[in-house]
Structure 1
Amino acid sequence: RDLDAKLFRINNLDYLLARMASESGDHPTAASEFHRVIHRRSILSEYAIWHLSRLFRDSGNRTMERVYLDQLAAMFPDSVLNLASSNRTARSWIEDEDFPRAVAEFEFLSATGTKNQRDASSLRRENQALQANAYLGTGQTDRARELFRTLIAEVQNPQQPDDYALEAARGLDAIDGGNENIGRNAPKLDEAEHMLRAGIYQFNRDFRQARLHYTAVINEHPASTPIPEATFQIGRGLAQRGEFAEAFRWFERLLEQFPEHSLAGDALLQAASAYARTGKHREAVSRYQRYIDQYPDDERADRAYLNIIDVLRDQGQETEALKRSELTQKVFKGKVGEAQALFASARLYLAREDWKSASEALGRLSSLPDLGGSRVPGGTSAAEVTFLLGYADEQVRNYDSAIDRYLALPDGRDQYYGWRATLRLRELAQGPATKPLIENRIDAIASASNTKDPKARKEQLHSLLRMTVDEQQRRDLLERLKSVYQDMEAYKKLPATKNFKGGRKELLSAAPPAPSNRNERIANELAFLGLFDEAAPRLQRVGKAAVPELAHAFLIGGRADRAVSIAESEWRNIPSDFQIELMPRENILRLYPAPYRDSLRVTTAERLVDPRLLLAIMRQESRFQPDVKSVAAARGLMQFISTTSTRIAGELGIDAFRQNDLYDPPIAILFAAQYTDGLFRMFPDQPPAVAASYNGGEDNMKRWMDRSRSMSPDRYVPEIAFSQSKDYVYKVMANYRVYTVFYDRDLNQIDPLTAK
């Protein structure tokens, strides 16, 4: 600006300066520069007005915020920002408790619709919830009730009511029973309405409010049909809160009062589980056996058989557990239940360090056609069985067999047991008794490496890399492997990773003519300034960027979720054993990005948490989408359920916490850092145990680890009974592996080919 003020203005550098000032907290400078942009009628004026409104909003001056939002609508009636502007105006009236104006704004929005909006359905439902509350603020309870009922009736999946259905249930409770009774008493309703609202609360994990409605059904409608379901759901809610001692009483109540009801079987299973959680093992076994006796042909009978084995193990009755396993194998001969029971025996032998019996059981397992995998609780896979056979061989010093089994498992970015096998091989390569064996194996493979077949050379180099610990030798092998990949079509043809090259490249010396396509011109101007948080959505809107370039634009624009989505779809056809260290840097940036670095660094600095593990969890939980909500009512980047987030908020001393705060990335990351810090204190230096706890609960992980009698993941991961949690560990740890290869602990990118 000092050198050439005209050049500074023509190239919109004042807008860039304003954005930089705003990001650094220098709001006076930001406001001044945004005013300059507007005054000279820059093509970026609409963005400057939008940012000015946000500056006033952040300062608490919502009156001036609305002045600029109105100016945006008046000056740029066709702006893509106008929908966001109108939505923000309506919300500002709500925040100022000017409900009549809020109603008028929401009615205008409802009439104009949300066409071409990516999240139109969600935005419309959010507006309806706010509009209904605005009606309440103006005393129009009938109109509020109508909108709240619409929100419940139009939920996309009635079995998974969303945040807005939850807001509607709360609004209706306030109308029917008064705000002062929320959380204390349920309003007077018929049983169907109680059950409807209770179901919404229960799914969204507001168990206290759900219980009020279920209790009202039982107490106020004693002859009604829903009483068994209400009784069952009270017990289920208590169990989900971890209040198992109270939960089994409700399940027993259902069994006593309604023994023939269709929910009696579910109540038996739930009661047995609750008894087991409270250390009442005899009662747990009794209820599982009762289920087997009453429902011998039920599709869940196998779970009762298998759970008895686990309960007996927890009770220390291992001989009886093995007998039960044999019985279960006979009952489910030829079915997946046979494999589950046999795997339970194998795990027990591993915990006992009875390697011979473990190998025999695992050997039998390897011959079965269906091991269950991640489809069933307590299932296993061919990869897990092969690894454990190798592990058992290793313990009895049958090292050659162990090496063969480990090498038989392919390694790659998504191969958990392939990775664990590689780690075992490298440990063997450094052991005094086993180092010569590994060296002999390396020599044998190297001497046979003169083949001209690229596939055979690739397999040889993969094996050599897995057994080599010397870094220089590994780098040499990687260079040779890179050359071999160039002779293999599937390995050399990697997805394109073009950086975005749109936008102009040179400084303008004179004002440009009026654009023929205003949207395209704005997109290119924002890209020229490097403001991809605003450029990327514009580029996608005008459709001028190629897919690889668009992925890059979203990545540097702070939308890692969209970049990952694009990159994963293009990487899907690459062989799963592609050597991780040879993945190109640009592919890694898109497949394994490191967004929110400042928040990650700050929140983990004083905690026992590696920020790369949080990224690995984030990638699996939400694929970096900050506003996602799961079918289990988990919210945000790190997917917290309400019971956990409420506890963490208490630990952090956050009094005004709301569940929707989890959609704010810095808050989600803070909560995740706090939670995982606590998990690491329970399971020191055990990332797999922390990952399993994050998904399946720390109490469950403690039980699984206790069964394994080991702090080694090679012993306790097979004990993870929840199929979803075990698969989660595989995926998070695979993510973590890649992040540790390509990023240091401060999240700076590193080159594995040159790093020491």
Structure 2
Amino acid sequence: MKLLKTIRKKRLDSFALILLTAFAGGTVMSSTWAQSATDASLNSVRMSDRADRTSKMQAQLPAAEHMRRAAIYIANRAFASAREHWQAVVDNYPNDPNMPGALFGIARSYYQERRYEEARQMYERVAGGYPDTKEGREGSNFAASSLLRMGRGDEAAARYIVYLNKYPNGERVDTAHLNIIDGYRESGHPQEAIVWIDRTRQRFAGTATEISAGFARLRLDIALGDWSHAVQAADELTQKPIPTAANTSADEVLYLKAHALDRAGRTQDAIRVFSMIPDNVDSYYGGLATNRLAAMNDAGAQQRATDRAGAVRTSIERAAAAYPAPFRFQVLSESK
């Protein structure tokens, strides 16, 4: 939704950048050391590959060595080089235990490059050829994910259902349920999505997945303009603690509830709920709520927005004194 894409750059992005610039010295040094170690490994396998190519007596590398070099290349996003080694395993060691991992690695590299159709084909290959391995199970799941990435929501949902039927206790049954919901929603089949929302909430009751499914219903209601049910869905979500793994927050749920109330013409209720969302320097939805209050054609709402913005400004001014002098002025300037 466009209204959720407003970015509070002056309060969050620039402010955070200044703080990182001021205090990230130790982190930068640690990251530099780790990067140097990674670069050394990459340079080492590149030198080994060059030496192998120029050698007059080219010996065939063991499958394990191909897998080792591929792992280093893929960690450095050298996708084509990684695929060369995985393909060597596929071509030369068809009965090796590393065969499923090599096929899955090729598929994953295409996926990371956003070459989703090529990825899907390789995922299907490992899923069909090695269904009893972890790579086979993952291939079945990610074949569906590739379809979803390509915008083929109906096909993705159907492929996820195949995964669930084959692996009812697989490692990704929870996300598969949620992705079926997304597939039907994105392909314009809200009723099918609602059926799977209800199934997901029942199967994963008491878990973060149940909350994620409830949040999916809230977003679906917003997209459909079903303001009454959106308020109901938000109320159901706020009755339970929202774990971090649910990929939402109480502030976001309250914001969407207030938005639904506003669109339903319940202005005073919307003002009340917007005002419940605390606003501070690191609160994304608090800032959005303040902006919505300021934009309302209601004197009381506008005054609340002024008070909230003033409180945030005061907290920034107090915090600025704790930062090194070279950054203090920037902190205050960027917060305006």
TM-score, shorter chain, exceeding 0.5: yes
Does residue 1:401 correspond to 2:269, yes or no?
yes
Find 2:135's aligned residue among 248, 263, 275.
Answer: 263
1:198/1:406 CA distance change after superposition, 3 Å:
same
* Structure 1 SS opposite 2:133: coil
Find 1:345's aligned residue among 202, 217, 232.
Answer: 217
In the TM superposition, residue 241 of structure 1 has moved relative to its aligned partner by 0.4
Does residue 1:579 correspond to 2:315, yes or no?
yes
CA contact (8 A) 1:426 1:466 kept: no
Find 1:372's aligned residue among 227, 240, 243.
Answer: 243
Structure 1 match to 2:7: none
Structure 2 match to 1:332: 204
Question: Which whole-Å CA distance do the structure 2 matches of 1:340 and 1:125 have between them?
Answer: 36
Question: Which whole-Å CA distance do the structure 1 matches of 2:96 and 2:301 have between them?
Answer: 72
CA contact (8 A) 1:328 1:341 kept: yes
1:446-491 superposed Cα distances (whole Å, 9 cap, x missing partner): xxxxxxxxxxxxxxxx875227xxxxxxxxxx6xx7xxxxxxxxxx
Q: Which runs of 5+ in 2 are unaligned?
A: 1-27
Question: Which whole-Å CA distance do the structure 2 matches of 1:315 and 1:338 have between them?
Answer: 22
More helix by share: 2
Does residue 1:193 correspond to 2:65, yes or no?
yes
Find 1:163's aligned residue among 28, 39, 55.
Answer: 39
Question: Which whole-Å CA distance do the structure 1 matches of 2:251 and 2:31 have between them?
Answer: 43
Does residue 1:236 correspond to 2:99, yes or no?
no
Structure 2 match to 1:172: 48
**Greater mean deviation of Cα atoms: 279-288 or 417-426:** 279-288
CA contact (8 A) 1:302 1:337 kept: yes
In the TM superposition, residue 340 of structure 1 has moved relative to its aligned partner by 0.8
CA contact (8 A) 2:258 2:274 kept: yes
Number of residues of Structure 1 aligned to a counterpart in Structure 2: 307
| Larger Rg computed on CA atoms | 1
Question: Which whole-Å CA distance do the structure 2 matches of 1:195 and 1:301 have between them?
Answer: 28
Question: Which whole-Å CA distance do the structure 1 matches of 2:213 and 2:106 have between them?
Answer: 32
In the TM superposition, residue 359 of structure 1 has moved relative to its aligned partner by 0.6
Question: Which whole-Å CA distance do the structure 1 matches of 2:41 and 2:225 have between them?
Answer: 52
Question: Which whole-Å CA distance do the structure 2 matches of 1:280 and 1:358 have between them?
Answer: 27
* Structure 2 SS opposite 1:397: coil
- Matched residue type, 2:320: P
Of the two structures, which has the highest relative contact order with CA contacts closer than 8 Å and spacing of 6 or more?
Answer: 2
In the TM superposition, residue 203 of structure 1 has moved relative to its aligned partner by 1.2
Question: Which whole-Å CA distance do the structure 2 matches of 1:349 and 1:238 have between them?
Answer: 35
Matches within 5 A, 1:419-430: 419-428=287-296
1:588/1:312 CA distance change after superposition, 3 Å:
farther
- Matched residue type, 2:267: Y
Question: Which whole-Å CA distance do the structure 2 matches of 1:172 and 1:593 have between them?
Answer: 52
Question: Which whole-Å CA distance do the structure 2 matches of 1:187 and 1:312 have between them?
Answer: 52
Calculate the TM-score normalised by the size of structure 1: 0.38
Question: Which whole-Å CA distance do the structure 2 matches of 1:284 and 1:277 have between them?
Answer: 9
- Matched residue type, 1:438: A
Does residue 1:742 correspond to 2:322, yes or no?
no
**Greater mean deviation of Cα atoms: 165-174 or 328-337:** 328-337
In the TM superposition, residue 422 of structure 1 has moved relative to its aligned partner by 0.9
Find 1:209's aligned residue among 63, 66, 81.
Answer: 81
**Greater mean deviation of Cα atoms: 209-218 or 253-262:** 253-262
Calculate the TM-score normalised by the size of structure 2: 0.82
1:582/1:392 CA distance change after superposition, 3 Å:
farther
Alignment identity in percent? 32
* Structure 2 SS opposite 1:208: helix
Matches within 5 A, 1:91-110: none
Question: Which whole-Å CA distance do the structure 2 matches of 1:362 and 1:124 have between them?
Answer: 44
Question: Which whole-Å CA distance do the structure 1 matches of 2:50 and 2:63 have between them?
Answer: 18
In the TM superposition, residue 287 of structure 1 has moved relative to its aligned partner by 2.2
In the TM superposition, residue 323 of structure 1 has moved relative to its aligned partner by 1.3
1:590/1:178 CA distance change after superposition, 3 Å:
farther
1:583/1:242 CA distance change after superposition, 3 Å:
same
1:236/1:324 CA distance change after superposition, 3 Å:
same
Structure 2 match to 1:28: none
1:388/1:176 CA distance change after superposition, 3 Å:
same
1:318-343 superposed Cα distances (whole Å, 9 cap, x missing partner): 11111111111111122221111111
Question: Which whole-Å CA distance do the structure 1 matches of 2:329 and 2:280 have between them?
Answer: 18
1:402/1:234 CA distance change after superposition, 3 Å:
same
1:557-583 superposed Cα distances (whole Å, 9 cap, x missing partner): xxxxxxxxxxxxxxxxxxx99633554
